[in-house]
Amino acid sequence: MGAGDTGKQPRSVRVVLLALMIAMLLAMLDNMIVGTAMPTIVGELGGLEHLSWVVTAYTLATAASTPIWGKLGDMYGRKGVFMTSIVLFLIGSALSGMAQDMGQLIGFRAIQGLGAGGLMVGVMAIIGDLIPPRERGKYQGMMAGVMALAMIGGPLVGGTITDHWGWRWSFYINLPLGIVALVAVSAVLHLPKKRVEARIDYLGAALLTVGITAIVLVTTWGGTEYAWDSAMIMELIAIGVAALVGFLFVQTKAAAPVMPLHIFRSRNFTLMSVVGFVAGFVMFGAVLFLPLYQQSVQGASATNSGLLLLPMLGAMLVTSMVAGRVTTNTGRYKVFPIVGSALMVVGLYLLSLMDTDTSRLTSGVYMAVVGAGMGCLMQITMLVSQNSVEMKDMGVASSSTTLFRTLGSSFGVAIMGALFNNRVQDVMSERAGALGSKVTEQSAQLDAASLAKLPVAAREAYQHAVASGTHSAFLLGAAVAVVALVTAVFVKEVPLRGASGGGAG
């Protein structure tokens, strides 16, 4: 797309792809780095009671803005909209690094999250514009590699930066990377300029934002800040449902809807949205509970928590590259959602079998099975979704798929987390009586320092409780992954646009 000079095209596409991968890394790496720095940030700024909002503000802003960025790119051209999202992310990063109290940090993190919403969508939609689906498989390994790098490197980089440079640099580090991406995109990316006369669907955007915000708050607060049956949670559910019903009604009337409902008439697009939701549900649940199990039960060090996920992420990277190559060479892809979902079901069931005696080698093999399943799914869901819509809807297709995956991760962390916490507290009460209840009354997740201070009997009870909690969480994950497997069976193999060798335009 863009320059018609085929001689220069491959090199310019490679430079653009490098810039896009940097932008994707920025969006994914940020929460991983900041999570490691949080204890130090609280130590300097105070405001421990608002700690969760540092992450929640970012997540909310990202999820709520994702569909809007996608639509803006479709209406006004992707290059300018994508560069705007990078600039907004960098402004949020710089302000977060300068924050003087917790309130400021939360507000600046929301600005950063607004920009992050456009980064992921922009990357996916621009790749969708530049590279035909048939050729896109070649680049899947690159995207999976960035994801693995963020998850493994994030905690390590965050810890190193915080220890040596101070927590503010966990935000400032985004600036040089973002500027490189901005300059490369500005200089090399050439896409046709667009201008749609229809007005932006402000009412639809507002209703969708309210609906997504309510959903994310329910999944974030339910069972932690507020009981699931509390008035606050019930009100949020009512607001969320009302806003989303209103949003669907407005989409049928708007001239330029934020999320045009006709894209869901494509069977493959709708099925892939479901598979993406389940993949997000399972993946982020696994990423949350596996390090917790390995630290609490297997005695692994918290510092290297990212490295503990290597078997899962390594398998994900390899299978993603294989799936991409096979898709590019053959044009066939239906087998991957089916095999990927089946591997996730098996892998999560195996993880649910882990107990206090499971070796690291055994848990590593189980993780690799889950990772192989995810590798078959993560990029194929986006590829099939983009191939199921017209080019003019590439942005909303990319943003909708990203949104469903994000919402899946919110539900996964919340529901698996609630199940885990309840199980841990029940087992602690059974095995350690009043002392067990007292140990976990604030939180079912103890850090290494708190664990070391416990009496031997309480520590052993806690290890059994965590093993029991992860059993319940992963068993639920396996059950949810069955939904993806059933859904994947109904995917229709539609030929991918752009035959091999058809150029990048």
Q: What is the pLDDT of residues 114-145, one digit of tens each?
A: 999 888 888 888 888 888 777 776 776 677 77
Q: 183-187 long-range contacts, Cβ below 8 Å, gap at least 24? A: 184/15, 184/16, 184/18, 184/19, 184/22, 185/16, 185/19, 185/20, 185/23, 185/79, 185/82, 185/83, 185/86, 186/83
Structure tokens at 169: 């640099």
Distance of alpha carbon 441 from alpha carbon 224, whole angstroms: 11
Say what the pLDDT of residue 505 is.
Answer: 29
Contact indicator for 232, 221 with CB cutoff of 8 Å: yes
Torsion of CA 218, 224, 226, 228, to 10 degrees: 60
The letter for the amino acid at 495 is P
DSSP assignment, residue 297?
A: T
- Give tens-digit pLDDT for 377-391: 877 888 888 888 887
What number is the average pLDDT over the span 44-68? 78
- Give tens-digit pLDDT for 346-360: 999 999 998 888 888
> In sequence order, what are the beta bridge partners of 226?
222
What number is the average pLDDT over the span 28-56? 73
pTM of the model: 0.80
3-state secondary structure labels for all residues of 440-505: CCCCCCCCHHHHHHCCHHHHHHHHHHHHHHHHHHHHHHHHHHHHHHHHHHCCCCCCCCCCCCCCCC
Distance of alpha carbon 30 from alpha carbon 173, whole angstroms: 10
- Give tens-digit pLDDT for 424-482: 888 887 876 666 556 555 455 555 556 666 677 777 888 888 888 889 999 999 999 99
Q: How much of the chain, in percent, has pLDDT values that exceed 70? A: 86
Say what the pLDDT of residue 436 is.
Answer: 55
Average pLDDT over all residues of the chain:
81
